[in-house]
Structure 1
Amino acid sequence: MQSFRRLSKSKLGTGILILFLLLILASFALADISNLSQGGSLPQTTLARVGKVELTANELDTAMQRRLAVLRQQNPQATYADLAPEFDAIVDSLIQERTLWAYAQKHGFVVSKKLVDAEIVKLPGVRGLDGRFSEAAYQTFLQQERITDAQLRREIETSLLQRLVIAPVAANVRIAQGLARPYADILLEQRSGSLGLIPFAAFANGPAPTAAEILTFYRQNLARYTVPERRSFRMARITPEQLGPVAATDAEIAKYYQDNQATYGGVERRVLSRATLPDQAAVAAIAARAKAGGNFAAAAAPAGFSASDVSVGPQTRAQLVATAGEAVAAQVFSAPSGAVIGPVQSSTGFDVIKVESIQTASGRSLADARAEIATKLTDEKRKNALADLVGKIEDSLADGRTFEEVATANKLPVLVTPALTRAGAAFDQPDFKLPADFAAVPGASFDIGADDDPIVEPLPNEAGFVLVDVAEVVPAAPAPLARVQAQVATDFAAKRAQDQANAAATRILAAVQGGKPLAAAVAEAGIAGIRPPEAVELRRGALAQFAQQGQEVPPPLRILFSLAPGKAQRAAGPSGIYLVQLDRVVPGNAATNPQLIAGEVTSLQRSAGAELALQWLSAAQRELKVTRNDDAIQAARNRILGGGGSTE
């Protein structure tokens, strides 16, 4: 569950938003939903059915492709094989997603198109330069996230259903402090012992490996020296430069200026004093005194107004229209400074208003703003024109045009690469470097085959797009020994040092099990370069800091909190073998730490909320009757995970 929650915070660039629901629902998938009926009555292309809603093989392919895209943000060389541990959880999460759809369908929960549209306009990257939704920007966003409009709408609809149906189930869970107290006690448990390290470096000065040893080690570890599959690409950059001259016209600039007067033209404000009464005669008396001269507050005082009551301050015409009506605003904004207007009927009674001063519009003229507006509109037009060009290229590919024909017809510069790994490295040409804008292209395009149609990939930082075609596929194969002999010799020496360190650790642990303290057993081993073990004392709650920082608990500390007193155990580390012995355990007592207990209450309430949501999903599946096609699911597993990473 923690791994899925961490993944939901990752960025599919910023597109992580798109995977949010899938990853949240996947957190439920670790539980065993025992009520799923097993069946072979479904078509081979249908993996499961919940009520009348199906999960198809194509939908699983799409989910796996997008999950792989997230994984490759962390590891560009990741393949579908790396998703094997997550396959069942992803399938279960998709089934549970369809449970939500089927439940909503059966019980009449409807998410309207307007509600989905309102969520789409909130997405990053779908607005134009004017801050409003732009269809061109939206299409570019879909291309960058590799998702269709229908898929995005479906996922937003699911997210809204989750918010409206599942979230209330998990809300407002209450856990008693008495239930949380034992968990708080555990966090205060204190353990003390000894921690030692047998460094591999202590055994590194052995004899140089012989040619026979190097050959044997190479043959035994061919996978370590296998060069991964490589592909040579043809790449054609699609940038605004291919568009020719694109510029905003005078008419477009003038219209944009007129439509954005609040930004460029400025707004006139008037500082006003105002008195409002239902009695027209009383208002007329105030107006007479104000027109006779003097302070407006003094003129209004006999009617019971204070100076703060009549002071309105600066007002735009729109603000005055909202409070007094259009007729009053028209008179006030056509009067000179110092004028007294009234009595006049407003939306709240009868008004008398004095224009104390006029703050003229302090905006920029069209001439002053022309260059800025021209730049904005030109950028927008170039983006739209680029999106049109990409659409034209994709249509040409769909019509059967080849890479060469499309590149020639659109005058696209072509780059042919040597065979590259998924990370973009050229094994045979170490000095080759892809242009910086193309660095992510091999990883994003590595699953298209030599016989597949070319694809269009977005470049980072809005640098345009690139048309990508696979020219050659070089299968994975071991590198020749002559090419990697120095590395094999180094690896052999490192493995020999590790084996010797493990043997020393075994002897030391045997002595500890015979009753000797760890420090004495290490000293008797007589190995040069080993420091005496150090005393360690730690509370169990300290381990939570690693999880809070997204880190794994170090193996020695994990062992320390799993041992019985007097016992010892080893743990492999990057630089040696850790030896851990536990001496003493002091149980925790949270009676005097109410803050810690309260924190455990909060943590348990979150867990209980997730459990309630899972129970709801289980009940919904029992009601809707879920059918799984295990043969089709296994076939999909073999095709995706066991077929070299292709989903074709």
Structure 2
Amino acid sequence: MLHFFRSFMHSKIGVVFALIFLALIALAFAAGDVAGMRNAVTGNDGRVATVGGRGVDASELAQAATSAVEQLKRDNPRLMMKAFVAGGGLGTVLDQTIDRAAIAEFGERHGVIASDRLVDSEIAKIPAFQGPDGKFSDAAFRALLAQRGLTEATVRRELADGLIARQLLTPAALGARMPGGLVLRYAALFAERRTGTIALLPAAAFAPPAAPAEAEVTAYYNANRARYARPERRTVRFAVFDETALKSVPAPTEAEIAARYTANKAAYAPSEDRRVSQLILPTEAAAKAVLAELAGGRTLEAAASAKGLAVAKLGPLNRAALANQANDAVASAAFGTTAGKTAGPVRGPLGWVVLRVDAIDAKPGKSLDQARPEILAELSLQKRRAALTDFSAKVEDEFDNGASLGDVAKELALTITETPALTADGQVFGTAGQKAPAELARVLATAFAMEREGQPQLAEIEPGKTFIVFDVSRITPSAPAPLAEIKPQVMTDLLLQKGAAAAKAAAEKVLGQVKQGQELGAAVAALGVPRVPPVDRIELGREDLARQGQQVPPALALLFSMAKGTTKVLAAPGNQGWFVVSLAQIVPGDPARVAPMLPAAARELSGLTGREYAAQLRAAIRQEVGVKRNQAAIDAVARRLVGTN
């Protein structure tokens, strides 16, 4: 419900508020983002910004951008730094970095601090810094910092800044409420209906009929090379092996079999489980009365039902388990009679018990000779798995000492398989619907993280059972496709661009005629352009719009953001043409109809109010602290990140 408001929260504006707010109050390390800070881009172009008395260095911005891209790649493996920067991601990261520094500076000025002990407690909570026992490990802490190239001072400062932000921003947003009158007005919008017309002037209808000149095509391609970038591709070589690769594994000895039997003697001893029905009564006299009824031929269930009670079914349980669940007296009674017989009354934890033994499952136990085949199979499997694990460790040592994938494959008599060119999401490049081999599912991300070709590694496919050795034999960086290979597409795109420019001029002409009083359909027809589709007559409610989820067409979105009696033009996505949108009438929603929505609407809108309060507080903090940006240094970081330096 209230998809309209959720859509706003997922809109461009709503997402910015949500992301920045969450980024400021969340502790990156506590969220497991220590690993995301690796591969920092080094170098120093000076400060990209000065925030009060603090400086934001170029390396800090580059590191934050790298971390952001790695986080986003979890959902979009094809994302490249170039696209991230081109889409404004670097600017968003810089804004967040500046906000964090400004809030920390503001907090220090006004006595809002994060003590060393508080920072210590946050460090101790981070899973990456915990040892096998689940407690903080100083050795793990130091090792990970060294591995990531971080200093303790940097980690502590980042955590302290995050804690200060949480102390300042959380109270600003906490408990915010939107007034009831505004909630009602916004909720009523959800039920309104609009009537209008939409005309599409397709770029294809206005595109020049003649093919563009070679020089034009080349110039257009050079100006739009990023549009034709192909993702990074990698060719992976791999081989899979299991215990069959082991030449010889010693069989378990008689002494080992005997030791295993002795260590698990209780498992091979005779055992007996029983299923029991029990009835609990408040007094011993009542229990004896039930026994008398049973002696007269009545069943335990019938006797219980007559008294408004129920019989409980227990088991199968052995004697110790029943004693633990009830007590020794109940267990002795249950195991002291035969199947189908009744015992009691016995004093139990909750009253007097009358019970019936429903079934007895007796197991005779096994001698060493009887258990030998079972133990032999278990020990043989363990030995094979242990030998396979030791063998895989030796393979890793060989790789560490410079052995190639071919060397190891030859030693193991394995057949190496080489994949076609793969993209980071596991698709075969250029072949729709074809994916990487299933064996690579666990290691593909590692293959795309390798810095160069010919770096063999070993990994487990099925822990302790199946292993894979692999490397990357060829890396094809992301780059624009050669013009010769995509020339028809480039020519089409160029013609569409020209057509879109002509469609824009036509849309503005139509707009002028509509403003002078001409009907939209007549104004479009007066253009005299064939292949222009008829004008669409629209009568739609916001509820209908909300059902379309996030797939609301741009022209409809515009129709529901206009004032009554206005006409506007809008570019269609991808140079596909232009829309002319005219809104004739707005029918307000009935407040009584949306009354059931008001509590949920109040919660969601109050959440937006809290975010707005936090955003205003951040803006005020930035203004008080003072922020100066060094655009030259920012541009230098952008160039280095996309590799154009």
- Give 1:594's aligned residue: 595
Contact between 1:437 and 1:459, CA under 8 Å: does it hold in 2?
Answer: no
How far apart are the structure 2 equivalents of 1:378 and 1:245?
A: 15
Offset at residue 531 of structure 1 (A): 3.1
Q: 1:514-593 alignment to 2 at 5 Å?
A: 514-546=516-548, 549=549, 551-573=550-572, 575-593=576-594
Q: 1:220-369 alignment to 2 at 5 Å?
A: 220-224=223-227, 228=230, 233=235, 235-237=237-239, 239-240=241-242, 244=246, 268-274=273-279, 282=285, 289=292, 294-295=297-298, 307-309=307-309, 311-315=311-315, 316-317=317-318, 320-322=322-324, 324-342=326-344, 344-348=346-350, 351=352, 353-358=354-359, 360=361
Offset at residue 193 of structure 1 (A): 1.7
Residue by residue, what CA displacement relative to the aligned partner does 1:510-552 show, whole Å, maximum 9, x if unpaired? 3223332211111111111223312212334544444xx3x25
Distance 1:37 1:416, change over 3 A: same
How far apart are the structure 1 equivalents of 2:407 and 2:617?
A: 53
Contact between 2:507 and 2:569, CA under 8 Å: does it hold in 1?
Answer: yes
- Give 2:639's aligned residue: 642
How far apart are the structure 1 equivalents of 2:561 and 2:403?
A: 62
Q: Does 1:66 align with 2:74?
A: no
Contact between 2:103 and 2:618, CA under 8 Å: does it hold in 1?
Answer: no
Offset at residue 332 of structure 1 (A): 1.3
Residue by residue, what CA displacement relative to the aligned partner does 1:588-638 show, whole Å, maximum 9, x if unpaired? 44145312333322322333565688899999x99xxx9999999997x77
Offset at residue 325 of structure 1 (A): 0.7
Distance 1:324 1:572, change over 3 A: same
Structure 1 residue corresponding to 2:471, chosen from 458, 468, 487: 468
Distance 1:455 1:84, change over 3 A: farther
SS of match in other structure, 2:526: helix
Q: Does 1:511 align with 2:510?
A: no
The one-letter amino acid paired with 2:200 is L
Offset at residue 336 of structure 1 (A): 0.9
Contact between 2:192 and 2:586, CA under 8 Å: does it hold in 1?
Answer: yes
How far apart are the structure 1 equivalents of 2:302 and 2:479?
A: 94
- Give 1:88's aligned residue: 94
- Give 2:197's aligned residue: 194
SS of match in other structure, 2:523: helix
The one-letter amino acid paired with 1:603 is E
Offset at residue 580 of structure 1 (A): 0.7
The normalised TM-score by structure 1 is 0.62
Residue by residue, what CA displacement relative to the aligned partner does 1:281-323 show, whole Å, maximum 9, x if unpaired? x48965985896654769999xxx9555473334435674345
The two structures, once aligned, show a CA RMSD in angstroms of 6.7
Between 162-171 and 517-526, the greater mean CA deviation after superposition: 162-171
Contact between 2:32 and 2:126, CA under 8 Å: does it hold in 1?
Answer: no
How far apart are the structure 2 equivalents of 1:299 and 1:222?
A: 86
Distance 1:404 1:84, change over 3 A: same
Contact between 2:50 and 2:628, CA under 8 Å: does it hold in 1?
Answer: no
- Give 1:123's aligned residue: none
SS of match in other structure, 1:643: helix
How far apart are the structure 2 equivalents of 1:74 and 1:544?
A: 30
Residue by residue, what CA displacement relative to the aligned partner does 1:536-585 show, whole Å, maximum 9, x if unpaired? 12334544444xx3x25322122223333443222232543221112233
How far apart are the structure 2 equivalents of 1:633 and 1:239?
A: 54
Contact between 1:68 and 1:78, CA under 8 Å: does it hold in 2?
Answer: no
Contact between 2:69 and 2:79, CA under 8 Å: does it hold in 1?
Answer: no
SS of match in other structure, 2:640: coil
The one-letter amino acid paired with 1:570 is V
How far apart are the structure 2 equivalents of 1:415 and 1:361?
A: 54
Distance 1:401 1:409, change over 3 A: farther
How far apart are the structure 2 equivalents of 1:433 and 1:42?
A: 47
- Give 1:14's aligned residue: none
Residue by residue, what CA displacement relative to the aligned partner does 1:54-84 show, whole Å, maximum 9, x if unpaired? xx986x4773353142243475898653543
Offset at residue 381 of structure 1 (A): 7.9
How far apart are the structure 2 equivalents of 1:237 and 1:469?
A: 12
Distance 1:91 1:294, change over 3 A: same
SS of match in other structure, 1:529: coil
Please list every run of 5 or more consecutive structure 2 residues that lacks an aligned counterpart in the other structure.
Answer: 1-8, 20-27, 34-48, 135-146, 149-155
Q: 1:417-436 alignment to 2 at 5 Å?
A: 435=437
Q: 1:40-119 alignment to 2 at 5 Å?
A: 60=64, 63-64=67-68, 66-73=70-77, 80-81=84-85, 83-84=89-90, 86-88=92-94, 91=97, 103=114
How far apart are the structure 2 equivalents of 1:615 and 1:506?
A: 38
Contact between 1:566 and 1:581, CA under 8 Å: does it hold in 2?
Answer: yes
Distance 1:294 1:92, change over 3 A: farther
- Give 1:129's aligned residue: none
Contact between 1:571 and 1:578, CA under 8 Å: does it hold in 2?
Answer: yes
- Give 1:495's aligned residue: 497
SS of match in other structure, 1:330: helix
The one-letter amino acid paired with 1:72 is N
Distance 1:342 1:595, change over 3 A: closer
Between 388-397 and 194-203, the greater mean CA deviation after superposition: 388-397
Distance 1:554 1:360, change over 3 A: same
Offset at residue 40 of structure 1 (A): 6.0
The normalised TM-score by structure 2 is 0.62
Between 559-568 and 441-450, the greater mean CA deviation after superposition: 441-450
The one-letter amino acid paired with 2:67 is A
The one-letter amino acid paired with 2:640 is G
- Give 1:604's aligned residue: 605
The one-letter amino acid paired with 2:312 is V
Distance 1:329 1:501, change over 3 A: same
Contact between 1:274 and 1:310, CA under 8 Å: does it hold in 2?
Answer: yes
Distance 1:201 1:175, change over 3 A: closer
Aligned-residue identity in percent: 26
Please list every run of 5 or more consecutive structure 1 residues that lacks an aligned counterpart in the other structure.
Answer: 10-17, 24-35, 48-55, 121-125, 127-132, 134-145, 148-153
Distance 1:614 1:355, change over 3 A: farther
Tell me how many residue pairs correspond in the alignment: 568
Q: 1:373-384 alignment to 2 at 5 Å?
A: none
Distance 1:592 1:215, change over 3 A: closer
Residue by residue, what CA displacement relative to the aligned partner does 1:95-124 show, whole Å, maximum 9, x if unpaired? 79999x9758656995797x988xx9xxxx
The one-letter amino acid paired with 2:354 is I
Residue by residue, what CA displacement relative to the aligned partner does 1:348-388 show, whole Å, maximum 9, x if unpaired? 56x453425325379x99999x99x989x969986x88777
Distance 1:408 1:631, change over 3 A: farther
The one-letter amino acid paired with 1:604 is L
How far apart are the structure 2 equivalents of 1:352 and 1:323?
A: 13
